Amino acid sequence: MENATHDAIRYAEGALATLKRAGCSNLRVFCLGCGHWHWLRIDDAIARLGASAGLVMVARRVRCHCCGTKGAHVEPEEPPGIGTPHYLAWALARRTWLRAELERFQDLDEWLPPGQAQG
């Protein structure tokens, strides 16, 4: 069930905006016809489909550069490893996103019963 919940979040409306805020900069697109794959910049996908688009919309609209098949499997890139190119930019974007998320949830303690605040 955990995977189903994770997939529902990843493929939901607004997935491109959510992935970008989380520091993802590329999507990996796999052709269903010939298996060819390439990187699609998330900014390019947002420019064409809008930030509110989900990964399913991207998957339905892309066309393979090699065989021309329409439709693909689309997944977000893995974060870069420490010391690899682009790691610093990814880490800074991720830190910014985490700080914004923490600020969004700071007022949760007000909603908890007395004695249950996590501080």
Q: Which two tokens stand for residue 55?
A: 């990964």
Residue 48 pLDDT: 95
pLDDT per 10-residue tile (average), the chain, 119 residues: 48 75 86 91 95 92 93 87 81 83 75 67
Residue 98 pLDDT: 82
User: Is the model's pTM score more than 0.75?
Assistant: no
Residue 118 pLDDT: 59
* Cα 11 from chain centroid (whole Å): 9
